[in-house]
Amino acid sequence: MELFLSQILNGLAIGQVYALIALGFSLVFGVANIINFAQGALFMLGAFIAYSAIAWFELPLVAAAAVSVVIVAILGLLLERIALRPLIGAPYIAPFLSTLAISTIIDQSAEIIWSPESQPFPAALSNTTFFIGNAYITLTDLVIFAFGAAATVALTLFISFTWTGRALRATAQDSAAAAQLGIRTEAMRQIAFGLAGALGALSGILVALYFQSVFPQMGIPFGLKGFAAALLGGLASIPGAVVGGLLLGIGETLASAYVGDSYRDAIAFTLLLLMLLVKPNGLLGSKRLDALGGAGAAAGAMPTTSLLASSSSQQTAIRAVYLPAWGFLVVGIAFATVPLVLTSTYVLQALIYGFIFALLAVSTSLVSGSVGILSIGHAAFFGVGAYAVGILARPYGLSADATLLVAIALTALVAVVAAIPLLRLTGHTAALGTLAIGQIGFLVFLNWVSVTRGPMGILNIPHPVLEILGGARFATTAQKYWLVLGFVVIGLVIAERYVSSPIGRVWRAIREDRLAAQASGLPVKRYILLAFAISGALAGLAGGLFAYVQQVVSPESFTVETSILVLTMAVLGGLGNFTGAAVSGFALAILPEFLRGFAEWRMIIYGLLLLAALRVRPQGLLGAR
Amino acid sequence: MADIAPRIVIDAIDVHYGAVQALFGLSLTVGDGEVVSVLGGNASGKSTTIKSVLGLVRPTKGTITLDGLRVDGQRPDAIIGRGVASVPEGRRVFPDMSVYENLLLGAYPRRREAKDLAGDLERVYEAFPRLKERRAQLAGTMSGGEQQMLALARAWLRRPSLVCIDEPSMGLSPRFVDQVYEVLHGWKAQGITILLVEQNARMALELADRAYVLQHGRVAVSGTARELASDPQVRKAYLGAA
């Protein structure tokens, strides 16, 4: 019982921090109607700038924190300026992808500046422990709770009782009406982003104090938890963000105490998915989410659920360029001749990865583009396929026919189950749901040691043997090249056949206007699940082939970075355009081979590419379909 | 009245929504203290006219001047800052804010005049006892007619010299339409200049000094309210006259 109470007190402290991150999401969501994916990056920068101020310039903690809060608030303003302002009138999904790109760039830059390693935070609060009855709480926890609570109260007072606060809320509720009362709505947007930056920095510093360490990858998990907290409480609601943060903090602290610390994050993300499933408007939420295509599909400010539509009436239609299904076969046959001419294992190896990522990008494009549920979690499906092969191939001595079949079927099943919480969501919220799925997948690969062998990974995966070809063994690189190419071409042909069929037309109808699709009597849910099943099958196949090529499967291949990468491929190719996805997947996968010396710049380059594409050609290279 | 120093001069503006053109060389003036009504059917360009004046849409051609200074291409807040108030189409009260806060936001450009504000708020409560009663209630929970009253009161708290009003009678019961126009007649008596867009031509022509009838983005007929009210064509098309 004492433990239980202590955990609750402890959870309140970390929960207060989540509440701050959540408030950052809520403010920006309210005023600018977008989910700022870069909130996590601002949070991470807050922690690191404070860290540098202490470690490099020997500032005291309070001064370092103040410096960090100010700098990150300014970065928040810049974020709005650079990544979002130019996209007003662009497709609805562009701002979200833009913040995603910025966050990738910031995260990777942080790894370059501060090294990817986790570092001890150089300031600590005293570890004095207080007892309330038999339950205890440390001074650190108390200070964190007090600071978080004070910031929340200050923000609430500001929002409720100042002219600027009222104007902020008015802009959040009806931007056009606010403008007609003389409110500078652009300025309100900027203030919201500045405040979100300040809140992000403050929460980053508090988390650094709480866990006594900082690491460049902290942004995404904490950003996602902050979003989970915001969603838990109702995205646009400020008291909701606080309640959500506290509940999440208590929930995950209890989970880590009674289930195991490695499950802390997995439980937080599962909670997020459950919330999406049960009550997507949140505990204290209003109908505001609907405006983003949240719970009720096409309703509110956004008259369509389409990712590609925009509020600008000045849209020009871009003709999509794509191959028919047999075209993939022709291209595949052309590629099949390459090993006859080229013998360099290095080049063939690069091409093999190109094929695998082409398939993975198409799989992502299917759900993200054709159905319109932006997937930032595809690495999880990719991983399921890879692990299925990794686990089955050696100990059971199964042939590649069998393992790949299991990989395909299992991943399809996992994808369908994962899609269930997403069924009622569209737009940004669905995207964050997929992100949670991706994170859960990664955490399972990492922590389910008895099956996946955890961080060690599965080594020595044997060369594939196909029973169907009379036990042919694919041992050399050229042989594996043909094997992969063969399967990828089959996968692409099937995918293209689907998307060009009446089924594909239904998918696009669901994407364009889910309500209208429902009103036309289409069984929307069934079609979405079908899309996830096929997408999962393709990703599972890609993963299985990947395992055979790598001969090693380990969790770091299936991080959120991979998910962002394949989504970037899908967007660059033109969402829903499988030819485009395959081309850009292939190109972006072999690109790093040419950038060997700049390995750490890779994600930055991808981020910049995505950012540039959104500005210049949001429909993708070959046009969205 | 219209000849001396007009407040608003719209000179031959074109407005496009993407590829669609909504206004074709539209010209219109509003004199000081005048009530000018813009009438017309659906998609005739009435709302676009008022939106152009408020800076919510930008003309692709032509100019708009307010008190002799060009305002086309300026942001709405800059235009409102020059003594203009707006009663938007569909009321657009802030649904999750209290009636009191909605009223305060009307006075946002005057936020530094704290003293006068308190007095003006009292005057509003006197004129609209219903709003006083419900001042703590969320605006979104009120009826359409009450919301329209709130939108009017909110605009009045701007203490404007010029008000742009977009379809104040839309979706209201006849009782509330009468109340709305009672308020507008009061404003006219106070000397406030009004640009009124309206589908309810009968009510609008009773209030207005002059009016323009738009058709397909062009001025079809214009003249004094009395002339138009007796114009057989206007009577037939907009007044349902027998």
Average pLDDT over residues A13-27: 90
CA distance B103 to B147: 11
pLDDT at position A301 is 35
Which residue among B17, B101, B109 sits closest to A166, beta carbon to beta carbon? B101
Residues of chain A with Cβ-Cβ distance to B75 below 8 Å are 179, 184, 186
Number of C-beta neighbours around residue A276 at 10 A: 26
Residues of A in contact with B94 (CB under 8 A): 169-170, 173-174, 177-178
Residue A284: what pLDDT? 67
Provide DSSP, A51-90.
HHHHHTT---HHHHHHHHHHHHHHHHHHHIIIIIGGGTTS
Task: Determine the average pLDDT of the residues in A215-222.
Answer: 89
Q: So what's the pLDDT on residue A298?
A: 30
Residue A616: count other Cβ atoms within 10 Å of its Cβ.
Answer: 7
Closest residue in A to B159 (Cα) is A181
Which pairs count as long-range contacts for A139-142, CB under 8 Å and 24+ apart, including other chains? A140/A13, A140/A209, A140/A210, A141/A9, A141/A10, A141/A12, A141/A13, A141/A210, A142/A13
Residue A258 CA, distance from chain mean position = 28
How near does any CA of chain A get to the CA of B223, in Å? 29
Local confidence band at A354 (pLDDT 50, 70, 90 cut-offs)? very high
Residue for token digits 């009720």? Answer: A296
Judge: B94–A179 Cβ closer than 8 Å, yes or no.
no
pLDDT-derived band at A377, boundaries 50, 70, 90: very high
- Min Cα–Cα distance to chain B from A163, Å: 7
Q: Which of B105, B112, B117, B164 to mutate to test the interface with A (most CBs of A within 10 A)?
A: B105
**Burial classification of residue B236, based on how many CB atoms lie within 10 Å of its CB (0-12 exposed, 13-18 middle, 19 or more buried):** exposed
Average pLDDT over residues A144-159: 90
Q: B62 or A612: whose pLDDT is higher?
A: B62
Query: What is the predicted pLDDT for the residue at B240?
Result: 64
What is chain B's alpha carbon radius of gyration, rounded to the nearest angstrom?
18
Residues 145-164 of B with CB under 8 A from A: 154, 158
For chain A, the first-to-last Cα distance in angstroms comes to 58
> Has residue B17 been placed in a domain?
yes
Predicted pLDDT at A272: 79
* Interface test mutation site (partner B, options A31, A159, A166, A180, max chain B beta carbons within 10 A): A180
A286 in contact with B at a CB cutoff of 8 Å? yes
Q: Which of B51, B94, B102 to probe by mutation at the A interface, max A CB count within 10 Å?
A: B94
The answer to whether the CB atoms of A180 and B97 lie below 8 A apart is: no
Residue in B88, B97, B108 nearest the CB of A183: B108
Per-residue pLDDT averaged across A394-422, rounded? 91
| B101 touching A (Cβ < 8 Å) | yes
**How far is it, in rounded angstroms, from Cα B111 to Cα B121?**
13
Spatial contact of A569 and A585, defined as CB atoms under 8 Å apart: yes
**DSSP per-residue string spanning A370-414:** IS----S-HHHHHHHHHHHHHHHHTTT---HHHHHHHHHHHHHHH
Contact status of B88 with chain A (Cβ, < 8 Å): yes
A345 interfacial to chain B (CB closer than 8 Å): no
Q: Which residues of A touch B80 (CB under 8 A)?
A: 180-182
pLDDT (average), residues B223-232 = 91
The predicted-structure confidence for B148-178, as pLDDT tens digits, reads as follows 999 999 999 999 999 999 999 988 999 999 9
Q: Which two tokens stand for residue A298?
A: 């096409």
* Domain tally, chain B: 1
pLDDT digits (tens, 9 = 90+) for A428-466: 678 878 988 999 999 999 988 888 898 889 998 899 988
| Interval B136-151 mean pLDDT | 93
For A41, A184, A302, B35, B83, the CA distances from B78, given in Å and listed in that order, are 35, 8, 27, 23, 10
In a domain, B1, yes or no: no
- Per the CB < 8 Å rule, is A180 touching B92? yes
**346-405 in chain A: CB under 8 A from chain B:** none
Residue B3: inside a domain: no
Residue B2 forms part of a structural domain: no
Q: Does A159 touch chain B (CB under 8 A)?
A: no
| A301 reaches B (C-beta below 8 A) | no
pLDDT digit string (tens) for A259-309?
Answer: 877 778 888 888 778 877 777 666 766 554 444 433 333 333 334 455 555
Tell me the chain A residues in contact with residue B103 when contact means C-beta distances shorter than 8 Å.
Answer: none
* Confidence band for A129, pLDDT divided at 50, 70 and 90: confident
Residue B112 lies in a domain: yes
Q: Mean of the pLDDT values across residues A516-531?
A: 91
Contact residues, chain B, for A183 at CB < 8 Å: 77, 105, 108
Mean pLDDT within A329-349: 88
The domain of B126 spans: 8-238
Q: Residue A185 and residue B20: Cβ atoms within 8 Å?
A: no
DSSP state of B44: S
Query: Any idea what the Cα angle at residue B237 is, between residues B231 and B239, rounded to 5°?
Result: 75
CB contact under 8 A, A176 and B96: no
Q: Mean pLDDT, chain B, as a whole number?
A: 91
- Amino acid identity for residue A137 in this structure: I
pLDDT for the residue A438: 93
> Contact A169/B111, CB-based, under 8 Å?
no
Distance CA B241, CA B218 (A): 23
B83, part of any domain: yes
- The pLDDT of B86-95, averaged and rounded, is 92
Residues of B in contact with A181 (CB under 8 A): 80, 86, 105-106, 108-109, 154, 158
Q: How many CB pairs under 8 A join A and B?
A: 74
According to DSSP, the β-strands at B218-224 and B210-215 are antiparallel
| Inside any domain, residue B184 | yes
Indicate if the pLDDT at residue A381 is higher than 80. Answer: yes
CA distance A164 to chain B (A): 9
Q: Which of B18, B76, B158 sits opposite A314 (nearest CB)?
A: B18
pLDDT of residue B99: 95
pLDDT confidence tier of residue A318, bands split at 50, 70 and 90: low
Residue type, A246: L
The distance in angstroms from the start CA to the end CA of chain B is 33
Express each pLDDT in A459-492 by its tens digit: 988 999 888 888 888 988 889 999 999 999 999 9
What is the per-residue pLDDT for B2? 46
Task: Write out pLDDT tens, residues A68-113.
Answer: 999 999 999 999 998 888 887 777 678 888 988 999 899 999 999 9
Q: In what order do the strands lie in the sheet with B69-70?
A: B20-30, B8-17, B61-66, B69-70
ipTM above 0.95, yes or no: no
Hey, is B84 helix, strand or coil? Answer: strand
Per-residue pLDDT tens digits for B33-58: 999 999 988 889 999 999 999 999 99
Identify any residues that bridge with B63 across adjacent strands, giving them in sequence order. B11
CATH (domain of B53): 3.40.50.300
| Mean pLDDT over the full length of chain A | 86
Q: Using one digit for the tens of pLDDT, what is the confidence trace for A187-210?
A: 999 999 999 999 999 999 999 998
pLDDT band for B211, please (50, 70, 90 cuts). Answer: very high
Q: Do B108 and A182 touch (CB under 8 A)?
A: yes
Partner residue facing A315 (CB), from B18, B56, B105: B18
Is residue A131's pLDDT more than 90? no
Q: Are A274 and A421 in contact (CB under 8 A)?
A: yes
**Cβ–Cβ contact A176 with B under 8 A:** yes
Name the residue with higher pLDDT: A301 or B5: B5
Whether residue A176 and residue B56 make contact (CB cut-off 8 A), yes or no, is yes
Chain A, nearest residue to B90 by Cα? A177
List domains and CATH numbers for chain A.
2-292 (1.10.3470), 331-594 (1.10.3470)
